[in-house]
């Protein structure tokens, strides 16, 4: 691996400064499950690696009914799915955190890192999008907040400036009678990169019959994870009947722009979008009605 | 202007390799100190710097699990941890699995159930399985297979490995309850052939 300097700041201010000093030639290290692989492949030429795991703001995992769930960018996946509050309030997020890689990867990998890695197939990103998550970003001069669906620009590229650090991701407090669901298609049962990922989130009225709000997002079918507003729109105001779900799935299929690569053909991916979107919607609906829908990953 | 400054460029004034870092850690219950460059993975440090070669390199990118170790009790791929990140942490490697006397039940059942052929994946599987059984004393077969999804084996086809883990879980439950048969109660020495 290329030689680099390793620093471990104890504060957010110090961390931003250490990044800014070497802007463009320094990157943050959280779980390392993407960065170390990329360094060995010489995807970056770095002089400095900034280990952000000692920065308090990046380690918080806090639920506040007024704010929602704040997940520090360096919080590993296992902390998310072992948290009983998160499991009850945001099962759609648990779906994602439980299926990145395998157990050993989840011991280190973070959803902040998954987002910053900006893979088109990142398993947490469609879930974050449908849950209306926002990113808090710190730079030398200011802190800003943007919606997750605006964060990724292209494969591996984000809106972060070279001297900015993702601090945390915030999911708003769950609406009553709402829930999300994330599903993906992979060749094996674990460890693979998503061929297609689909996240759905729905909110039902008090009678738990009519969909009053819905969001759909897709992974691995566009250069970035894809928020599909029209698919959610196809569900709103309906009683979640088969025709509405089919319309939403069709809208998602139409929006997908998959490529053919070693993980699948564009045609297969388009087909999978339709299937997984419908299943994700049904899973989200069941959860919104109070039913237990287990995560794929047998936790 | 001296000859030195005339030929000095940015490339020659920047050190080509940062200084080595001193790391204090605890491995298999013993305090260990070592020097490493920041770029050396924990896997490389264990094998090349410290001399604990039980942990294996398979893929070096987090896909095969041959490098599995426990970091503060958590199962991780040591190829994806920097050696410098071990500072102040507790690491368990395959060398630390056996009790003071004899074999860990996992080692015993892996031998008895023929759960290894070439053995290169075996340290990783045993460490990973130990992480599971330490948390879940009575896992289902499906749970075992899911937990071990990050450990690849080219020789055995996995079935005997899964059986060995389930047999070890049963043996550990017996040992804890004091109902293990003689010679398998965790007190005696080596595995007996069946």
Would you list the domain boundaries of chain A? 57-171, 178-288
- For residue B117, which phi and psi values (nearest 5 degrees)? -120, -80
Asked if A33 lies within 8 A of B80 by C-beta distance, the reply is yes
SS3 category, A284: helix
Residues of chain B contacting residue A29, judged by C-beta atoms under 8 Å apart: 82
B19 pLDDT more than 90: no
**A31 interface with B at CB cutoff 8 Å:** yes
Asked if A36 lies within 8 A of B75 by C-beta distance, the reply is no
Q: For residue B77, give the chain A residue with the closest CA.
A: A104
Q: Please, how many CA atoms are within 13 Å of residue B82, restricted to the half-sphere of its CB?
A: 33
Cα–Cα dist A66/A210, whole Å: 26
Residues of chain B contacting residue A78, judged by C-beta atoms under 8 Å apart: 74
Better pLDDT: A170 or B17: A170
Residues of chain A contacting residue B82, judged by C-beta atoms under 8 Å apart: 6, 29, 32, 36, 49
Residues of chain A contacting residue B150, judged by C-beta atoms under 8 Å apart: 101-105, 190-191
SS3 category, A169: strand
CB-nearest to B21 from A1, A6, A105 is A6
Domain covering B105-177 in this structure, CATH number: 1.10.150.120
Q: Which residues 6+ apart lie within 8 Å of A110 measured at CB?
A: A30, A31, A73, A74, A75, A76, A77
Q: For residue A6, give the chain B residue with the closest CA.
A: B38
Cα–Cα dist B113/A26, whole Å: 49
For the entire predicted model, the pTM comes to: 0.93
Domain covering B21-95 in this structure, CATH number: 3.10.20.30
Sign of CA dihedral A35, A39, A45, A48: positive
**A107 interface with B at CB cutoff 8 Å:** yes
Cα–Cα dist A94/A295, whole Å: 7
Residue of B159, B175, B99 whose CA lies nearest to B125: B159
Q: For residue B40, give the chain A residue with the closest CA.
A: A1
Residue where the block lists tokens 């799935």: A249
pLDDT at B37: 97
In tens digits, what is the pLDDT along chain A, a chain of 299 residues? 889 999 999 999 999 999 999 989 999 999 999 999 999 999 999 999 999 999 999 999 999 999 999 999 999 999 999 999 999 999 999 999 999 999 999 999 999 999 999 999 999 999 999 999 999 999 999 999 999 999 999 999 999 999 999 999 999 999 999 999 999 999 988 899 999 999 999 999 999 999 999 999 999 999 999 999 999 999 999 999 999 999 999 999 999 999 999 999 999 999 999 999 999 999 999 999 999 999 875 44
Cα–Cα dist A44/B110, whole Å: 42
Top residue of A50, A103, A108, A193 to mutate, by most chain B CBs within 10 Å, is A103
Going by pLDDT thresholds of 50, 70 and 90, the confidence category of residue B16 is low
> CA of B64: how far to CAs of A99, B55, B123, in Å?
16, 12, 12
Q: Please, how many CA atoms are within 13 Å of residue B128, restricted to the half-sphere of its CB?
A: 33
Partnered with residue B68 across adjacent β-strands are B77
Asked if A105 lies within 8 A of B77 by C-beta distance, the reply is yes
Residue of B179, B162, B149 whose CA lies nearest to B113: B162
Asked if B142 lies within 8 A of A31 by C-beta distance, the reply is no
Partnered with residue A135 across adjacent β-strands are A146, A169
SS3 category, A286: helix
**A189 interface with B at CB cutoff 8 Å:** yes
Spell out the domain ranges in chain B: 21-95, 105-177
- For residue A60, which phi and psi values (nearest 5 degrees)? -75, 145
Instruction: Supply B137's token pair.
Output: 């004393």
Q: For residue B132, give the chain A residue with the closest CA.
A: A103
**B75 interface with A at CB cutoff 8 Å:** yes
pLDDT in tens, B105-119: 999 999 999 999 999
Residue of B87, B78, B85, B91 whose CA lies nearest to B43: B78
Cα–Cα dist A115/A240, whole Å: 31
B18 pLDDT more than 90: no
Partnered with residue A134 across adjacent β-strands are A147, A170
Asked if B17 lies within 8 A of A191 by C-beta distance, the reply is no
How many CB pairs below 8 A link A and B?
89
pLDDT at B3: 46
pLDDT at A198: 98
CB-nearest to B143 from A4, A104, A298 is A298
Q: Please, how many CA atoms are within 13 Å of residue A228, restricted to the half-sphere of its CB?
A: 33
- The region of weakest confidence among A103-107, A287-291, B15-19, B128-132 is B15-19
CB-nearest to A102 from B21, B85, B149 is B149
CB-nearest to B146 from A49, A78, A297 is A297
CB-nearest to A2 from B39, B65, B142 is B39
Residues of chain B contacting residue A37, judged by C-beta atoms under 8 Å apart: 61-62, 80
Going by pLDDT thresholds of 50, 70 and 90, the confidence category of residue B2 is very low
Cα–Cα dist B139/B145, whole Å: 10
Q: For residue B21, give the chain A residue with the closest CA.
A: A6
What is the side-by-side order of every strand in the sheet holding B68-71?
B30-36, B21-27, B90-92, B68-71, B74-77
Cα A224 from chain centroid?
Answer: 11
- Average pLDDT of chain B to the nearest whole number: 91
Domain covering A57-171 in this structure, CATH number: 3.30.465.10
Residues of chain B contacting residue A105, judged by C-beta atoms under 8 Å apart: 62, 77, 80, 150
CB-nearest to A32 from B80, B143, B145 is B80
Top residue of A26, A48, A50, A104 to mutate, by most chain B CBs within 10 Å, is A104
Architecture of the A178-288 domain:
2-Layer Sandwich (3.30)
Predicted complex ipTM = 0.95
pLDDT at B187: 63
Q: Report the first-to-last Cα separation within chain B, whole angstroms.
A: 82
Reduced 3-state DSSP string for chain B = CCHHHHHCCHHHHCCCCCCCEEEEEEECCEEEEEEECCCCEHHHHHHHHHCCCCCCCCCCCCCCCCCEEEECCEEEEHHHCEHHHHCCCEEECHHHCCCCCCCCHHHHHHHHCCCCCCCCCHHHHHHHHHHHHHHCCCCCHHHHHHHHHHCCCCCCCCHHHHHHHHHHHHHHHHHHHCCCCCCCCCCCCCCCCC
């Amino acid at each position: 691996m290329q030689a680099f300097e390793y620093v471990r700041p104890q504060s957010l201010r110090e961390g931003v400064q250490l990044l800014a000093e070497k802007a463009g030639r320094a990157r943050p290290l959280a779980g390392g499950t993407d960065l170390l692989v990329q360094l060995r492949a010489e995807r970056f030429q770095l002089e400095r690696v900034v280990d952000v795991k000692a920065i308090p703001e990046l380690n918080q995992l806090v639920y506040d009914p007024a704010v929602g769930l704040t997940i520090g960018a360096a919080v590993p996946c296992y902390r998310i799915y072992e948290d009983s509050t998160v499991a009850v309030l945001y099962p759609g997020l648990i779906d994602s955190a439980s299926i990145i890689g395998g157990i050993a990867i989840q011991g280190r990998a973070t959803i902040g890192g998954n987002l910053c890695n900006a893979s088109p197939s990142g398993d947490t990103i469609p879930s974050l999008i449908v849950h209306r998550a926002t990113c808090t970003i710190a730079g030398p001069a200011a802190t800003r907040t943007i919606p997750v669906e605006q964060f990724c620009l292209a494969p591996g590229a984000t809106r972060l400036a070279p001297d900015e650090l993702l601090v945390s991701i915030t999911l708003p407090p769950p609406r009553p009678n709402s829930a999300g669901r994330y599903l993906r298609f992979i060749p094996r049962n674990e460890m693979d990169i998503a061929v297609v990922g689909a996240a759905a989130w729905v909110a039902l009225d008090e009678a738990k019959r009519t969909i009053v709000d819905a969001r759909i997002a897709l992974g691995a079918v566009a250069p970035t994870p894809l928020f599909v507003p029209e698919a959610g729109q196809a569900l709103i105001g309906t009683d979640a009947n088969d025709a509405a779900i089919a319309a939403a799935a069709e809208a998602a299929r139409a929006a997908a722009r998959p490529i053919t690569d070693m993980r699948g053909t564009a045609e297969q991916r388009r087909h999978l979008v339709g299937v997984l979107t419908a299943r994700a919607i049904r899973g989200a609906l069941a959860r919104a009605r109070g039913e237990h829908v287990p995560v794929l990953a047998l936790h | 202007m001296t000859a030195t400054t005339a030929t000095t460029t940015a490339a020659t004034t920047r050190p080509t390799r940062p200084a080595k870092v001193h790391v204090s850690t605890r491995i298999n219950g013993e305090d260990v100190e070592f020097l490493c460059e920041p770029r050396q993975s924990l896997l490389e440090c264990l094998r090349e710097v410290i001399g604990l070669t039980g942990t294996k390199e398979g893929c070096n990118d987090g896909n095969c699990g041959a490098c599995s170790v426990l970091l503060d009790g958590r199962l991780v791929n040591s190829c994806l941890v920097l050696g410098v990140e071990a500072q102040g942490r507790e690491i368990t490697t395959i060398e630390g699995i056996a009790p003071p006397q004899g074999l860990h039940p996992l080692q015993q059942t892996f031998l008895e159930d023929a759960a290894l052929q070439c053995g290169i994946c075996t340290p990783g599987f045993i460490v990973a399985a130990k992480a599971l059984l330490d948390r879940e004393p009575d896992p289902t077969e499906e749970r075992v297979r899911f937990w071990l999804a990050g450990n690849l084996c080219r020789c055995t086809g996995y079935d005997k490995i899964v059986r060995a883990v389930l047999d070890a879980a049963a043996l550990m439950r017996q040992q804890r309850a004091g109902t293990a048969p003689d010679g398998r109660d965790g007190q005696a020495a080596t595995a007996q052939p069946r």
